[in-house]
Each structure stands twice: as C-alpha cells, then as structure tokens.
Structure 1
Amino acid sequence: MYKIGIDVGGTNTDAIILDEHSNLVHSVKSPTSVDIKTGIETALRNLLQESNIDKTKITHAMLGTTQCTNAIVERKKLAKVGVIRLGYPATASVLPYTAWPKDMIEKLSGNYALVHGGYEYDGQLLGELDEGEIQSLLEDWREKVDSIAIVGVFSSIKNDQEIRVRSLIQEVYGEEFPISCSSLIGSVGLIERENATILNAALCKVIETTTTGFVHALEGEEIYNAKVYLCQNDGTLMSIDYAKQFPILTIACGPTNSIRGASYLAKIKDTMVLDVGGTTSDIGVLQDGFPRESSVAVEVGDIRTNFRMPDIISVGLGGGSIVRENNGKITVGPDSVGFKIAEEALVFGGNTLTTTDIAVRLGLANVGDSSLVAHIDEEFAKEAQLEISSLIEQAIDKMKISSEDVQLVLVGGGTIIVPDTLRGVSDIVKFENGTVANAIGASIAQISGQYEQIYIYSKEPREMSLKDAQEKAVKQAVLAGALAETIELVEVEETPLAYHPENATRLKVKVVGKMG
C-alpha cells in the first residue's frame, strides 16, 4: 500500500511516495508551472515512472497547494459574493467591505445587505429574523452572485439564525449553491470574522478547479481508487467535500506541511523550523508536533481576518533570490528568479547573480558549474553571505518567546544558502530528505476537527460546555474524513471574556484522527 504526497510551492512542485510503514520510497522535484496543473501532472508522471510501483496499490493521495492564497493575492479566479449580515440597524455604522482594497471589492461585486437579526453579546436576541426579507433579497440577487456569505452578530454564541438563512438559500438556489456561515469559519470580532467568511465564499471556484484538476491528474495516470485529501493550514488534512466548504483553510498550508514534515524527519515535537524555498523562507514553531497557531488577527491579501492561521513569518529570501550591489551596499532579494533558477543563475549558465551562486562560490554547496562563479570576489561573497545570515537571524528573533538560543531544523530545497552557524541558534539540524519535507508533511498528516464558541458557564456549566465543544469538533473531523473511532482530543483553549458579567469564556477545542 502506498501514499502519494504533492506540495505545490512557488518554485518547485514536490512529489513523494511513502510505503505502508511511512518510509520514503521515492521523491521528485519539478518546476511549478504557471498554470499549476501542468506542474502537478509532470511531477506525478515522473514520480510514478521513476519509482515503477504498482499503481493499483496507491490508497491515498494528498495535495498541498498555494492556489487559494495566490487567487486572493493576485485577485484572480474569484467568485462574485453576496454578503448577508444579520444585524440591522445595530451594525449599520460599519458596513461590509469597510477598509477593503477597492480592486478586491470590484472583483467580488460588492453586493451586500444588512437585514434584521443577530444576538447580543450575552446571547439575548438582538433582532428577529425576517424570512420574507431574505427571500426578496435572494430574488433580487438571482444570477448576480456565485456564492453567499452569511454573517450574524455574535453568531459565535448562537448561530441558529445563520443556519436558518442557509436553509432558505438552499431552498431558492439549490443544495449545491456555495454558502459560507461565519460561525463555522471565524472567531470573535464581527468585522474580521465577516472578512474571513467573504474570502471563503470568494474561493469556491478556485477550490473546485483545484480539486477537479488533481483528481483528473490522478485518473490520467490510471489511479482511480485512491482517497484524495487536501492539506489544511494547521498541518492536518481534509476531504475534498470539506475543502469545498472551507477553502480558506488551505491558505498557508505549504509552510505547515514543511513544519510537520520536519517534525517527522527529526523525530522532534518541539522546535523551530526554517523552510527555505526558491523564492521565500518560512519560519514556524512546532508545539507538541503541530505548528504554533497565530494569536492575533492576520492579514490575507491586505484584508484583516481572524480565522485559524499558523504563526509563520515569511522572508523574501530563497535559493533564487537576486543579489545586487547598489552604491557599495549589498542587497539580497526580495525578488527572485523563482522556478527559472536552472536557466538564470550563474552556476547554470545564466546571467543573474543569486544566493545559490554565493553559496557555491563560498564552497557551501556543490550544484551547477562552480567555475562559472570563480570570478566573484571572495570578500563580496562573504558580505553577501552576512546579509543572508542577518535576514534569517532577524526572522528567528521575531519568532522567539525568550532570549535563549533555539534549536533550528532546516528543510526545503534552498537550505544550501543557510550558513552552518547563526546567532541565537544553538544547533542546526539537517536531513537527507529535508528538501521534500513539505510533501512528506502532506503525506503523514492526520485529520483534524476544530470548534470554537463563546460559552456562558453560569448558564451552561464548564463540563457540559467542554463536552458540547468536543462533540462538535469531532463532528467536524468526521466531515473532514477522519475515522470516528480514532479521534482524540489534542488541545483545549479557554479565554475568559473579562467584560462579561456572567463568566463567559471563549472555548476552542481541537481533535485529530486517522484518515479513512
């Protein structure tokens, strides 16, 4: 029995095969194509041809992709979204799409409606839902929107109105129409939760294209019976159906795949991980084997959101980063030759000076033709290397929670540019298969379920609240493709709301289980 893992990066698409004991059978790297799909197909074809395994024994296939992130950043392939906010007139002072980039609003159509409904902070009714109001709105929006985002005021306490509106939309537009409920996506905070829900709704076309393309790529190689999963940004997996409901959870899954892969290779559950690609370097922290989650609101494509995101710092430094000298000052990146490194870097016969050329000149790496960089002044190369070290050290300092030196696990195809010693780092751990840690992380991942809600302990005791949240988290994990009997609790986070008079607490529960 075999598992296939594919991770699409900005420079390379990595593909690996693991056997039933999670041993690496074979791995390949293929340049990421402009259309993504071709790069996946090429990597998959090369992987199967070179490994020569029995295709009928492939049971699982996992994909980690940057498609959703790219769609938001580049403002491409996004759906027309209608936003229904339940909270009129209380929330009319701050409208949907406030503080959004204008080009993004234009892409998403900017259709929104403030309707009656919503709850107070203590769960009391703010406004009755007017079903006639919703139905007339849906008639007006027919053919104007591709998906709908439903956002209720304090739906993180009670979400029955959101669920009812979802049912009304399905009655009018059909069961298959893409609908996003904010209570299932974001955290406390109306505007940030609304923003995350709108983005999730906008990604319905992108995720449909991505999942269909991956399934077709597998079928093109005569792989018909494998269970297919997509990677989430907490280092776990989800089924295709679940991914179609929550495409936003694929954002930043690349770095978390690498972090999980690093944990697996190093057999370490608590450490800092540096993933060096061709264009960027990502730094994250492993806590008990999973990536540390960000505790602050995160901007995605210049839009402030509060859905679950990993605590990652990205630096414009990779194996293809361009090195320049301006007025005696050496700069590295943030621009990169990216997937064209094999054509443009000096060591491969190109005309662009990159960080890889510096590493080869200083004897840190043995790739390409070293004679093509022999003319580079050694002092210049050393100064460039100091600039590379400085960029990494500054990022590591930002991720630390104490002044002590940290252990650093190095993964990714661009690790050759990292020096053997760094300030603030006690020891650096490298691996033979570290260059494909991202694809390994995609392959060995479990399936998670997470649930977050505000509970009022004076009305619903803590034990009952915990039980309710865990049951709902388990339900999410099963929907995502986990085997119910393998699910276990891995994290409980309680945050008391100090301003609340009745002992209200934001309760977040996470469970993980094995894939089916």
Structure 2
Amino acid sequence: MYKLGIDVGGTNTDAVLIDEKLNVVASVKQHTTSNIYDGILHAVRAVLEKSGVNRSEIGQAMLGTTQCTNAIVERKNLAPIGVMRIGAPASRGIPLMVDWAEDLKEIAVKTAIIGGGFEYDGRELAPFDTAAAATFFEELKAQNVKSVAISCVFSTVRNDHELEAAKLCKEIMGEDVHVSVSSEIGSMGLIERENATILNAALYKVAQTFTEGFAQSLVNEGVTNAQVYLSQNDGTLMTMEYARRYPILTIACGPTNSIRGACYLSQLKNAIVIDVGGTTTDLGVIQNGFPRESGVAVTIGGVRTNFRMPDVVSIGLGGGSIVRQKEDGTVTVGPDSVGYQITEKALCFGGDICTATDIAVRLGMADLGNPALVSQIDEEFAQKAMDAIRTLCEDSIDAMKVSADDVDVILVGGGSIVLPSDLAGAKSVTQHEFGSVANAIGSAISKVSGTYEQLIDYDKVPRDEALAKARAEAVELAVAAGAIRGTVEIIDAEDVPLQYYPGNTTRVKIKAAGDLA
C-alpha cells in the first residue's frame, strides 16, 4: 500500500508518494494555480506518472491546504451564520464580535446573548433559557441559515448548556445544520474561544468544498481505493468528516507539515525547523517529535482567537526575494519576492531581477539555471546580500530559542538553498535530499491525535484521578479522529495551577496520538 501526500502552499503545490516502509518513492513540485484544484490535479498526475505505481495500490491520501486561511483573510466563501452566547445577564457588557472588522461581521445573520452559563468553579450563573434559545433557532431556520456558533461562559469547566443548546438547535433546524460548540474548539478566555467558534461555523462551506473537491480529483485520476485525510495544525491528520466539523483546525497546517516532515527526514525529535519557500520563511520548533504549540492568542484575518496553533515565526525571506542595494551601499533582501515567477524573472533563468537564489548561485552555494548569467554580480555585493540573509535567519533562530544554548537546526523547503550551512546559535545544520518537499512528506506520514483540555479543581477531584480521566479522554478523542486504539500514546501532558482562581483550580491539557486506522 502507498501513501499520497499533498501540500498546497502559496507558491508551490508539492506531492510525494511513500511506500509501506515510509520510503519516498517519488516527489514533484508544481506551481500553485489560482484554482487550487488544478494545481492539486497536476501534482497528483505528475507524481503518479513519475512513480509508475498502480493507482489501485494507493490506500491513503493526505492533503494540507491553505483554503480556510485564505477564506478568512480574503473574506471569500464564508457562510452566513447565527451566533449565540449563553451568558446573560453576566456577559451582556461585552457585545458579540466586539473587535471584528465591519466587513467580516456581516457573516452573522443574527446574534443573541441568552440566559445561562457558569462560574469558574462550575456553579450555574443562571438557568439555561430554553425558550429564548428555541426562538433564536426558529428565526434562523426561517432565514434558511445552515450553520450556528454556540459559546457559553466557562464552558471549559462545564459544557452542559452548550450541549443542551446544540441538541435543541438540531431538533429545531434539522440534523443537517452545522453546529460549532466553543468547548470543542477553543481554550480559556470567552471572547477568543467564541471568536474561534464563529470562524469555524463560517468555514463549513469551504470545508465541504475542499474535502469533496480533493476526493473527486483523486477519483478523476483513478485513485479510487484511498482513504482521504486532511492535515490539521498540530502536525496530525483528521478524517474528512472531522475536517468538515472543525475546518478551523486546518489553519496553519502548512508549517506543521514541514515540521513533521523535517522530523521524519532528520530523525531529530527536538530542533528548530527553517522552512524556506519562494516568498517567506517559516521557523517552527520540533518538541518531542511534534510542533511546539503557541502559548499566546493568535490573530487570524484580524480576529483574535485562542484555539491551538503552532508556534511559528514568519519572515519575508524566500528563494524569490528581491535583492537591492541602497544609496548608502547597504544591501537588502526582500520582503517582496518574484514568487512562483522565479523561473522567468531571476537572473540565473534569463530574467532581469536579482533574487536571493541568484546570490546563492553566484556564491557557488547552488547549481541552478545558468551560472554564467549571474557572473556579472559583484562578489562584494553578493557577500553583503548573504550577510543580510544570514542576519535575518539568525535573529529568527534567537526568537525561537528558550535558552542561550545552541540548538539543532533543520533546513527544508525549496528555497533552503539560499541559506548558509553555518548559522550562529546552531549546534548543527541538517539538510536532506527530499527536504524541498518536507511539507508533503509531513502530510503523508502524520499520525492522528486527540487533545483534552479542562479546568479541574483538585480539591474536588484528586490529581491522580483527574489526570487518569484526562488521559483516557484524550485517547478516546484520538480514536474518534481516526486513530487505531492500540497505537495511541500520550505525547504531551501538562497541568498548570491557576493562581488567579480560588481553591486549587488547575488547567489540565493532555494530547494523544496514534497511527491511522
């Protein structure tokens, strides 16, 4: 059986075919098209032709895509939704979508704040207002709304009211309505968790389109026996059904795919990964074999959220970054880039724009295009440009480190040829022959995970008992996402006491991962 891994980036769409022993059989890199399905189709077709593998032998196909991110940033294809918060009267002082841009607020057809919610310790703020909720859902049904976001005060402690509301929503609006519940998506912090839930609800049409489109593109190429999976932003996979329920979890899956691919290729479990594309460079951290998660709220398309996201730093440096010399003699690299047009515009390919790739070719670091075409670049100018590239990269490494110690560094991505192999702060710098398609490899070899997060008062539930229950819940979540039960293991666990809460309240977070079923 073979695995097909595809990752759609802003510049390139990469595809790899991997055998049962996780060896790379074939890999290709195609330009991303304005219609991403054409790019995916071309990449799938190219990798299948290159490998010569019988299409019926492909048992799994994985896709990492930027569709959800693009939909939010570009304000395109977002579904009209209803938004309900359970938290009156306590939370009426903070309006729904309070800090959203006006053009993005328009996705909400109707909003409501109704009675209910909980205190930090699980005590009820007010009874759940069933009548108000029913009226709200009836009005949404009359307006033919098909997606609803439900949030509740302290639902990370108790989600009874959210689940009651979700059940009532389906009873009134029909089983086919898409319901996003905040306790399943975000972390502590009502507004950020609520925002993430609203975005998730608005993305349901996008998710439906790209899951069905990917499955159809495989069928069109004769890949009919493959189970289809989507990459999510913690470096693991989810089923198509899971992706349709939680499309927001695909956001930022590109960097995490690269991190997982780098981990597999280098066999390093702890390192900094530098993924250099055509326009930007993403730096992330491998922590025990998986991407390190960001500990701060993340803004997506101007919306502040707190659902899990990888800890990634992006800089305006890529293989197509434009190199210029200022009047004072200093040399700058980027942040603007020729992007996917590098083979037309870069000097080494016969173009008229000096790029970071031209500098690497001029200094003998890479053998691309026609080296004779960059021979006129002054060596001092080239060295200044490389120093600028080095500084950008080394400063970013420092930003990702948690101590002054040197760390292992892994270079991946098609643009990694522009980086020097000796970097300050790096204990070692590793590159691999398949590093240019590490993102697609990461998509193909990823596992399936489940994450359990809850606020627990250890005065009420003993710590050992609470952690044992949390581990069991994390395993069940991984299995529900498509993992084989016997292969699931706990890969991360933390319990952090919350000093600003009375009693012995602790934030418990457990993550489990296993092989694909």
Distance 2:89 2:146 in 1: 26
What is the letter of the counterpart of residue 495 of structure 1?
V
State yes or no: 1:263 paired with 2:263.
yes
CA contact (8 A) 2:276 2:414 kept: yes
- Greater shift in the superposed pair: 284-293 or 344-353: 344-353
Distance 1:298 1:165 in 2: 27
What is the letter of the counterpart of residue 387 of structure 1?
A
Q: CA deviation at 1:488?
A: 1.6
**TM-score calculated relative to the size of structure 2:** 0.97
In structure 2, runs of 5+ residues without a counterpart are none
| Aligned twin of 1:133 | 132
Distance 1:196 1:414 in 2: 33
Is the partner of 1:451 in helix, strand or coil? strand
CA contact (8 A) 1:97 1:110 kept: no
CA contact (8 A) 2:451 2:474 kept: yes
CA contact (8 A) 1:80 1:144 kept: no
Give CA-to-partner distance per residue, 1:305-359, whole Å, 9 cap, x none: 1111111111111111122234334222222222222222222222322111111
Is the partner of 2:470 in helix, strand or coil? helix
| Aligned twin of 1:17 | 17
| Aligned twin of 2:320 | 320
Distance 1:188 1:110 in 2: 26
Distance 2:478 2:22 in 1: 22
Distance 2:225 2:105 in 1: 41
Q: CA deviation at 1:144?
A: 5.6
Distance 1:174 1:75 in 2: 27
| Aligned twin of 1:66 | 66
CA contact (8 A) 2:57 2:225 kept: no
What is the letter of the counterpart of residue 70 of structure 2?
N
| Aligned twin of 1:232 | 232
Is the partner of 1:171 in helix, strand or coil? helix
Give CA-to-partner distance per residue, 1:376-395, whole Å, 9 cap, x none: 22211211111111111111
CA contact (8 A) 2:83 2:108 kept: no
Distance 2:391 2:145 in 1: 48
Alignment length (residue pairs) = 515
Distance 1:166 1:327 in 2: 63
CA contact (8 A) 2:138 2:173 kept: no
| Aligned twin of 2:413 | 412
In structure 1, runs of 5+ residues without a counterpart are none
Distance 1:351 1:172 in 2: 63
Is the partner of 1:509 in helix, strand or coil? strand
**TM-score calculated relative to the size of structure 1:** 0.97
Q: CA deviation at 1:155?
A: 0.3
What is the letter of the counterpart of residue 140 of structure 1?
E
| Aligned twin of 2:334 | 333
Give CA-to-partner distance per residue, 1:422-463, whole Å, 9 cap, x none: 222232111111111111111111100001011112222223
State yes or no: 1:153 paired with 2:153.
yes
How large is the Cα RMSD of the aligned pairs?
1.3
CA contact (8 A) 1:408 1:429 kept: yes
Residues 366-515 of structure 1: matches in 2 within 5 Å?
366-515=367-516
| Aligned twin of 1:242 | 242
CA contact (8 A) 1:193 1:305 kept: yes
Q: CA deviation at 1:173?
A: 1.8
Distance 2:353 2:213 in 1: 34
Is the partner of 1:385 in helix, strand or coil? helix
| Aligned twin of 1:95 | 95
What is the letter of the counterpart of residue 104 of structure 1?
L
Distance 2:114 2:353 in 1: 57
| Aligned twin of 1:350 | 351
Is the partner of 1:59 in helix, strand or coil? strand
State yes or no: 1:123 paired with 2:129.
no
Residues 106-121 of structure 1: matches in 2 within 5 Å?
106=106, 108-109=107-108, 111-121=110-120
CA contact (8 A) 1:332 1:388 kept: yes
Is the partner of 1:155 in helix, strand or coil? coil
Distance 1:279 1:175 in 2: 44
What is the letter of the counterpart of residue 25 of structure 1?
V
What is the letter of the counterpart of residue 349 of structure 1?
G
Q: CA deviation at 1:110?
A: 6.1
Distance 1:439 1:115 in 2: 45
Distance 1:471 1:420 in 2: 44
Q: CA deviation at 1:228?
A: 0.7
Distance 1:326 1:216 in 2: 51
Distance 1:177 1:467 in 2: 35
Q: CA deviation at 1:500?
A: 2.5
What is the letter of the counterpart of residue 453 of structure 1?
Q
Distance 1:446 1:368 in 2: 38
State yes or no: 1:83 paired with 2:73.
no
- Greater shift in the superposed pair: 493-502 or 34-43: 493-502
Distance 1:56 1:283 in 2: 37
CA contact (8 A) 2:277 2:319 kept: yes
